[in-house]
Structure 1
Amino acid sequence: MKPIPEDAWEPWSPQDLASRLGHDDPSWYVVGGWALDLWHGRLTREHEDLEFAVLPDQVGRCRDLLSDLEFFAARDGNLTHHPAKTALATDLWQLWGADMTAGFWRVDMMIERGTPDFWIYKREPAIRVPRTAAIRRNSTGIAYLAPAIVLLFKAKHRREKDDLDFRTALPRLDAGERADLTGWLEAMHPGHGWIASLREDRTAGV
């Protein structure tokens, strides 16, 4: 099966996804820019996709609940059809979900390799956070990744939207979040431009 064009995105909202997977289900959570907006409690910018994450043993269950979508493995810039029940390769981190009838991508399922107790950063397994702290919920019960962790992911590429997300989030990060993000950036991206801003903001708050 051939994928639809890569730029043919008309993503669901987190609320759309929750209506299919369940608001109170602990097996999935929103990541990326939408996670930050669930934390803010408002829309801060438009989102071109919808990313959510699950542990490997939950992929099949989520796919069953999203059976109206066809999933494609996103790896090394290529999209390959990934039929249901196909084994997950250890180097597979993303499955894009396509509404083939409408001709749009709806979701990007991220496969995380943590444990039931700990969220673990895929680029450096030494960075781990208790899952109870890494995953939060908004007022309607939708689970999302904590803001400092979302920004850690965004720091690598630092696209225009990532810098915007950082600037918007910075005033709302508490002292612990700023300290965590600063430490992670110093370990993963020494000299990153956000480090100075985090330090300045921390100093200004004293």
Structure 2
Amino acid sequence: MEARWWVAGGFAIELAVGRRIRNHGDIDVLLLRRDQLLVQRVLAGWQWWAADPPGNLRPWASGEVLPQGVHDIWCRPAPDEPWRIQVMLDESHGQEWVSRRDPRVRRPISTLGLTSADGAPFLAPEVQLYYKAKTPRPKDEEDFDAVLPVLTDQQRRWLVAVITDTYGPHPWVKRLQA
């Protein structure tokens, strides 16, 4: 089985709209939990830190399989370097992606992302917005405003349904339905 990964966060939104929107502190990457040990091999020599809930950073030992509740991994090339990549682990079952926020929210892994003009895989904008909708920060609102005009009717319907099912009433729903 081939490991899959996607550029996530604000960069995924920028890839969807085809332009720069704002500054970023790091690069977010989504990876399926089943492929988590791959990143340690790909960036061998980097420092890896797991964010144990509720967000306590601790070194992630080589070969350690992170438990179900750990979803974020921070990495940097050296101790005196800033964090460069945040790896977010998501769940899967067979060939189906399963949201870590709500296991009822699922879709085929093959529909989880898109590919940029230069070949970079990135998280589909509606999936990224679903995660950003939990507690939107100003940068999430900025990303939402930027990508809203390029969402298809199908993406909007999916996003309305999953936001409503997972989070209940949400200010983005009206704008998605306009």
After TM superposition, the score normalised by the length of structure 2 is 0.92
1:47 aligns with 2:47: no
1:56 aligns with 2:44: no
Q: Distance in 2 between matches of 1:191 and 1:89?
A: 31
Residue 167 of structure 1: how far off its partner (Å): 0.9
Residue 95 of structure 1: how far off its partner (Å): 0.9
Residue 116 of structure 1: how far off its partner (Å): 4.8
Residue 103 of structure 1: how far off its partner (Å): 2.0
Structure with more strand by fraction: 2
Q: Distance in 1 between matches of 2:169 and 2:25?
A: 29
2:92 aligned residue (106, 110, 114): 114
Are the counterparts in 1 of residues 126 and 156 from structure 2 also a CA contact under 8 Å? Answer: yes
Residue 101 of structure 1: how far off its partner (Å): 4.9
Using the aligned pairs only, state the percent identity. Answer: 28
Residue 102 of structure 1: how far off its partner (Å): 4.3
Q: Which of 90-99 and 144-153 deviates more?
A: 90-99
Structure number, greater radius of gyration: 1
Cross-structure match for 1:185? 163
Cross-structure match for 2:120? 142
Q: Distance in 2 between matches of 1:51 and 1:108?
A: 5
Cross-structure match for 1:160? 138
Q: Which residue identity is paired with 2:33?
A: P
Q: Which residue identity is paired with 1:129?
A: R
- Residue deviations 1:94-126, cap 9 Å, x none? 110022254211101111111351121111111
Summarize the alignment of residues 122-137 of structure 1 with structure 2, pairs less than 5 Å apart: 122-137=100-115
Which of structure 1's runs of 4+ aligned residues deviate more than 3 A? Answer: none
Q: Which residue identity is paired with 2:86?
A: D
Q: Which residue identity is paired with 2:122?
A: Y
- Residue deviations 1:66-99, cap 9 Å, x none? 0131101112121101111112212111110022
Structure 1's unaligned 5+ residue stretches are 1-24, 201-206
Q: Distance in 2 between matches of 1:121 and 1:113?
A: 6
Q: Which residue identity is paired with 2:88?
A: M
Number of residue equivalences: 176
Q: Distance in 1 between matches of 2:44 and 2:158?
A: 38
Residue 32 of structure 1: how far off its partner (Å): 1.1
After TM superposition, the score normalised by the length of structure 1 is 0.80
Residue 146 of structure 1: how far off its partner (Å): 0.5
Summarize the alignment of residues 70-109 of structure 1 with structure 2, pairs less than 5 Å apart: 70-75=47-52, 76-109=54-87
1:38 aligns with 2:38: no
Are the counterparts in 1 of residues 90 and 100 from structure 2 also a CA contact under 8 Å? Answer: yes
- Residue deviations 1:31-90, cap 9 Å, x none? 111111111222111112211122233222221110131101112121101111112212
